[in-house]
Amino acid sequence: MTGNDFYELWEAARLVDKHRKAMGDSGLQQSELVWRKWLAFCAEKLLDWKEAKATDVSAFVIDINPRTTRAGRKVSP
């Protein structure tokens, strides 16, 4: 299963999950962006996304630059 296949299955399952708060289009777009960045990070490191360890995820989170809000405050990725 490719990373894109996995994301599509996750998104479909998330949309029908009535036990969680709905994400809406904006939330789904943000999650897709983070997922694509994760896959790119894994490809750059020659890492199979399915074999990633906690240390790989930590390195990915550190690698993402925080966004800046309109008020100029930094927000965690």
Q: pTM of the entire structure? A: 0.76
Q: Residue 11's pLDDT is what?
A: 92
Region 45-49: what's the mean pLDDT? 96
pLDDT at 9 > cutoff 70 = yes
Owner of token pair 């630059």: 65
In order of 17, 21, 51, 55, 74, the CA distances from 70 in angstroms are 32, 26, 37, 32, 10
Higher pLDDT, 74 or 63: 63
Cβ neighbours around 60 below 10 Å, total: 19
